[in-house]
């Protein structure tokens, strides 16, 4: 990597050129220097912004979640629900992508679901080995995906759920993903840690639980996941395995298209069974949560008809998991409301002392991911004090569908397996972090109020597919290949490329920062020109190629309503010139 000069470089030739051509143009004197800038990917206190009709009280013990900024980067498939087995390893399903050189896809008659072992104690350095994939015909449904997976006393119980009518459906002028959630046909079983499997005796047409009433009708125990009770289920209150699922009822009072989909639903349901090879596929061995008696104690019934929702928030629920946090003696529930299946998704975390509730809100994370799904807290990575955890999820799978682009928020969110370090905050810690982080934000020049580029209207000469002009003023220096949502790239332009910022009101400015596209194999601005609405211009030299620093241009304060940056020269390898970021600083404090 090339070292950038950090001291001020006066462009004396510019002054000379300015004097010689002063009659023809109004090129003005300016200072130009390189300013190191390190992107702040530090802690992020996720604001809790629940909709007004949220039916959960705020927890008095846990006030929110801090993302420390530490996260993994596993380039694998999605659908990870790690289970901590007696041999200290994690075992997980996965699908729809490639893991450790093996590919699995869960749509169509030849649908497969993968299994993997995750070896190690460091969430950032797990050895993930594919253990194989297993075929499961979804017919009469069209997809069959992994859900509840438990390794207990050396026996692996692995379930799947069905989806229909297709992975891509056009409806209301929009493309949807798997709008109908079907049943869970039962468990395949392995007694040799995933080497060989015995298939479930059930089928998608005749599933384990007696639902749906009709093909493509609603289910209650949808995509069930095993409650994570720790290593080999050590903290189960009664030795039973609990499954939590999400669903909907017949005659839904709040119907909508894709009401119960792969990621959206109306209620949460609970069932339990003593896990054994004999029991796991025998419906008569299952008890269902059936509400509370007059003393407020939970009722469990072997009769599926008696099942009642554990929680209900019609049109605001979806994929659900529960983990027992043993040091805190708390259950944590993650719910994702991912309707309408392909847009930004909302996730929330609830806590309870008992699995049957009452459940209270820890945080409602609007647009987490921005498209985060399949959230769970693997018990293996809960710290001794119970306050540091790793949130496991996948993100941003439908990048570009319906022209929606997702950013990686929090940073590290991506398709594949994400393990994101989080801290649970009590109300006092929450208040302290809130203050601290607000102060930090004002110290980041790009995110400070002084950077008025961020409130400008931005237009560009062209945009490469998948990129946006707005990414040049989003306050984030980033780009290809990590995060293309953070930079602007033109569509094949070189020296013709132009970006323009317009303000509604005149602005007094005296400083501009320009960041090159961070890739160094191709695109770099080697010269450009700033043009202001008052008719003045400033020539700009080479931008630091890797975007680890800004080219700063300072000049006497001037009042403008717009400015343009025009690219006048590029590195020969350049393909699609652009900018990771432009900042324009107000001369007024
Ligand atoms: Ca509904
Ligand atoms: Ca940017
Ligand atoms: Ca570059």
Task: State the distance from the centre of ligand 2 to the C-alpha of 72, rounded, in angstroms.
Answer: 22
Looking at residue 178, which CATH number applies to its domain? 2.115.10
User: What's the confidence (pLDDT) of residue 25?
Assistant: 56
Q: Which residues hold their Cβ within 5 A of ligand 1, which is an ion?
A: 252, 254, 259, 266, 314-315
Looking at residue 567, which CATH number applies to its domain? 2.60.120.260
Task: State the distance from the centre of ligand 2 to the C-alpha of 485, rounded, in angstroms.
Answer: 8
Task: State the distance from the centre of ligand 2 to the C-alpha of 419, rounded, in angstroms.
Answer: 24
Over the range 359-378, which residues count as b (16 or more CB within 10 Å of their CB) and which as e?
A: bbbbbbbbbbbbbbbbbbbb
- Give the Cα separation of 414 and 393 in Å (integer): 9
Please check whether residues 76 and 204 belong to one and the same domain: yes
Task: State the distance from the centre of ligand 2 to the C-alpha of 518, rounded, in angstroms.
Answer: 10
Q: Which two tokens stand for residue 533?
A: 């609405």
Task: State the distance from the centre of ligand 3 to the C-alpha of 582, rounded, in angstroms.
Answer: 14
User: What's the confidence (pLDDT) of residue 4?
Assistant: 41
Q: Which of 19, 68, 108 is nearest to 437 (CA)?
A: 68
Q: Which of 359, 420, 426 is nearest to 394 (CA)?
A: 420
> Number of folded domains in the chain?
2
User: What's the confidence (pLDDT) of residue 439?
Assistant: 76
Which ligand has an atom closest to residue 312 CA? 1
Q: Which of 75, 66, 85 is nearest to 380 (CA)?
A: 85
In a domain, 444, yes or no: no
Report strand pairing: 155-164 vs 112-119. unpaired
Task: State the distance from the centre of ligand 3 to the C-alpha of 230, rounded, in angstroms.
Answer: 47
Which ligand has an atom closest to residue 318 CA? 1
- Nearest-5° angle of CA 344, CA 484, CA 103? 75
In a domain, 134, yes or no: yes
- Give the Cα separation of 216 and 172 in Å (integer): 20
Considering 404, 433, 462, which residue would you say is the last residue of a domain? 433
Which ligand has an atom closest to residue 339 CA? 1
Domain residue limits at 195: 44-433
Q: Which of 469, 533, 465, 456 is nearest to 497 (CA)?
A: 469
Considering 433, 466, 501, which residue would you say is the last residue of a domain? 433
Whether the CB-CB separation of 449 and 588 falls below 8 Å is answered with no
DSSP letter (8 states) at residue 348: E
Considering 376, 400, 433, which residue would you say is the last residue of a domain? 433
* pLDDT tens per residue across all 589 residues of the chain: 433 443 334 444 444 444 444 444 577 778 999 998 876 567 889 999 999 999 999 999 999 999 999 999 999 999 999 999 999 999 999 999 999 999 999 999 999 999 999 999 999 999 999 999 999 999 999 999 999 999 999 999 999 999 999 999 999 999 999 999 999 999 999 999 999 999 999 999 999 999 999 999 999 999 999 999 999 999 999 999 999 999 999 999 999 999 999 999 999 999 999 999 999 999 999 999 999 999 999 999 999 999 999 999 999 999 999 999 999 999 999 999 999 999 999 999 999 999 999 999 999 999 999 999 999 999 999 999 999 999 999 999 999 899 898 989 998 999 999 999 999 999 999 999 998 887 777 788 998 899 999 999 999 999 999 899 999 999 999 999 878 889 999 999 999 899 999 999 999 999 999 999 999 999 999 999 999 999 999 999 999 999 999 999 999 999 999 999 999 999 999 999 999 999 999 998 6
Please check whether residues 36 and 51 belong to one and the same domain: no
Task: State the distance from the centre of ligand 1 to the C-alpha of 312, rounded, in angstroms.
Answer: 10
Q: Give strand pairing partners of 566.
A: 498, 529
Task: Tell me how far apart the terminal alpha carbons of the chain are, to the nearest angstrom.
Answer: 36
Task: State the distance from the centre of ligand 2 to the C-alpha of 341, rounded, in angstroms.
Answer: 27
Which ligand has an atom closest to residue 476 CA? 2
In a domain, 445, yes or no: no
Task: State the distance from the centre of ligand 3 to the C-alpha of 116, rounded, in angstroms.
Answer: 38
In a domain, 253, yes or no: yes
Please check whether residues 380 and 392 belong to one and the same domain: yes
Please check whether residues 204 and 63 belong to one and the same domain: yes
User: What's the confidence (pLDDT) of residue 9?
Assistant: 40
Does the predicted model carry a pTM greater than 0.95? no
Whether the CB-CB separation of 334 and 311 falls below 8 Å is answered with no
Task: State the distance from the centre of ligand 2 to the C-alpha of 128, rounded, in angstroms.
Answer: 33
Which ligand has an atom closest to residue 479 CA? 2
Q: Which two tokens stand for residue 563?
A: 């400015």
Task: State the distance from the centre of ligand 2 to the C-alpha of 194, rounded, in angstroms.
Answer: 45
In a domain, 3, yes or no: no
Please check whether residues 411 and 454 belong to one and the same domain: no
User: What's the confidence (pLDDT) of residue 483?
Assistant: 81
Please check whether residues 22 and 109 belong to one and the same domain: no
Please check whether residues 380 and 522 belong to one and the same domain: no
Please check whether residues 258 and 390 belong to one and the same domain: yes
* 145, 413, 482 from 75: Cα distances, Å: 19, 11, 12
Task: State the distance from the centre of ligand 3 to the C-alpha of 522, rounded, in angstroms.
Answer: 7
Three-state DSSP class for 501? Answer: strand
Task: State the distance from the centre of ligand 1 to the C-alpha of 397, rounded, in angstroms.
Answer: 24
- Give the Cα separation of 438 and 350 in Å (integer): 25
Please check whether residues 426 and 464 belong to one and the same domain: no
Task: State the distance from the centre of ligand 3 to the C-alpha of 578, rounded, in angstroms.
Answer: 9
Please check whether residues 176 and 228 belong to one and the same domain: yes
In a domain, 291, yes or no: yes
Task: State the distance from the centre of ligand 1 to the C-alpha of 210, rounded, in angstroms.
Answer: 21
Which ligand has an atom closest to residue 259 CA? 1
Please check whether residues 50 and 33 belong to one and the same domain: no
Task: State the distance from the centre of ligand 2 to the C-alpha of 468, rounded, in angstroms.
Answer: 10
Which ligand has an atom closest to residue 543 CA? 3
In a domain, 545, yes or no: yes
In a domain, 33, yes or no: yes
- Give the Cα separation of 59 and 64 in Å (integer): 9
Please check whether residues 500 and 532 belong to one and the same domain: yes
DSSP secondary structure, 234-291, as one string:
TT-SSS-EEEEEEE--TT-SS--TTSS-SS-EEEEEEEEE---TTTTT-GGG-EEEEE
DSSP secondary structure, 535-583, as one string:
S-EEEE-PPPTTSSEEEEEEEEEEEEEEEEEEEEEE-TT-SS-EEEEEE
Task: State the distance from the centre of ligand 1 to the C-alpha of 215, rounded, in angstroms.
Answer: 18
User: What's the confidence (pLDDT) of residue 39?
Assistant: 61
DSSP letter (8 states) at residue 19: H
Task: State the distance from the centre of ligand 3 to the C-alpha of 31, rounded, in angstroms.
Answer: 22
Task: State the distance from the centre of ligand 1 to the C-alpha of 315, rounded, in angstroms.
Answer: 5
* 322, 338, 411, 412 from 368: Cα distances, Å: 18, 10, 11, 12
């Amino acid at each position: 990597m090339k070292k950038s000069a950090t001291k001020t470089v006066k462009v004396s030739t510019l002054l000379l050129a300015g004097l010689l051509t002063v009659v023809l143009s109004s090129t003005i004197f300016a200072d130009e220097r390189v300013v190191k800038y390190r992107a702040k990917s530090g802690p992020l206190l996720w604001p809790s912004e629940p909709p007004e009709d949220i039916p959960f009280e705020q927890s008095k013990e846990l006030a929110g979640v801090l993302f420390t900024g530490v996260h993994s980067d596993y380039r694998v498939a999605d659908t990870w629900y790690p289970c901590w087995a007696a041999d200290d390893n994690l075992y997980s399903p996965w699908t729809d992508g490639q893991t450790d050189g093996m590919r699995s896809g869960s749509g169509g008659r030849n649908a497969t679901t993968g299994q993997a072992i995750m070896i190690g104690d460091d969430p950032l350095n797990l050895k993930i080995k594919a253990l194989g994939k297993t075929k499961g015909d979804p017919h009469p449904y069209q997809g069959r995906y992994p859900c509840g997976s438990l390794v207990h006393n050396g026996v692996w119980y692995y379930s799947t759920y069905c989806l229909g009518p297709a992975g891509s459906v056009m409806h209301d002028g929009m493309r949807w993903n798997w709008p109908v959630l079907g049943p869970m046909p039962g468990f395949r079983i392995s007694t040799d840690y995933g080497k060989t499997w015995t298939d479930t005796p059930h089928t998608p047409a005749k599933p384990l639980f007696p639902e749906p009433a009709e093909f493509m009708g609603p289910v209650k125990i949808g995509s069930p996941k095993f409650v994570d009770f720790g290593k080999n289920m050590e903290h189960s209150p009664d030795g039973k395995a609990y499954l939590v699922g999400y669903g909907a009822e017949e005659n839904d009072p709040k119907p909508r298209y894709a009401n119960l989909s792969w990621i959206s639903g109306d209620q949460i349901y609970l069932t339990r069974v003593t896990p054994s090879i004999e029991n796991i596929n025998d419906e008569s061995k299952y008890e269902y949560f059936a509400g509370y008696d007059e003393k407020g104690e939970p009722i469990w019934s072997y009769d599926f008809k008696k099942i009642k929702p554990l929680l209900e928030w019609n049109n605001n629920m979806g994929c659900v998991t529960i983990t027992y946090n043993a040091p805190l003696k708390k259950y944590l529930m993650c719910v994702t409301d991912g309707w309408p299946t392909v847009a930004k998704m909302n996730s929330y975390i609830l806590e309870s002392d008992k699995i049957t509730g009452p459940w209270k809100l820890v945080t409602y994370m609007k647009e987490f991911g921005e498209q985060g799904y399949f959230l769970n807290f693997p018990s293996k990575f809960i710290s001794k004090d119970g306050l540091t955890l790793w949130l496991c999820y996948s993100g941003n799978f439908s990048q570009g569908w319906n022209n929606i682009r997702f950013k990686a928020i929090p940073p590290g969110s991506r398709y594949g397996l994400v393990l994101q370090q989080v801290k649970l905050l009590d109300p006092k810690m929450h208040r302290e972090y809130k203050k601290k982080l607000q102060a930090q934000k004002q110290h980041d020049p790009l995110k400070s109020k002084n950077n008025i580029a961020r409130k400008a209207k931005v237009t560009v000469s062209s945009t490469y597919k998948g990129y946006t002009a707005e990414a040049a003023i989003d306050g984030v220096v980033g780009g290809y290949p990590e995060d293309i949502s953070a930079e602007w790239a033109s569509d094949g332009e070189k020296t013709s490329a132009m970006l323009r910022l317009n303000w509604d009101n005149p602005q007094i400015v005296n400083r501009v920062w320009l960041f090159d596209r961070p890739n160094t194999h191709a695109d770099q601005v080697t010269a450009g020109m700033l043009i202001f609405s008052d008719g003045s211009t400033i020539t700009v030299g080479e931008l630091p190629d890797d975007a680890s620093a800004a080219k700063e241009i300072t000049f006497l304060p001037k009042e403008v309503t717009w400015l343009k940056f025009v690219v006048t020269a590029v590195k020969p390898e350049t393909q699609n010139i652009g900018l990771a970021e432009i900042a324009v600083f107000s001369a007024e404090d």
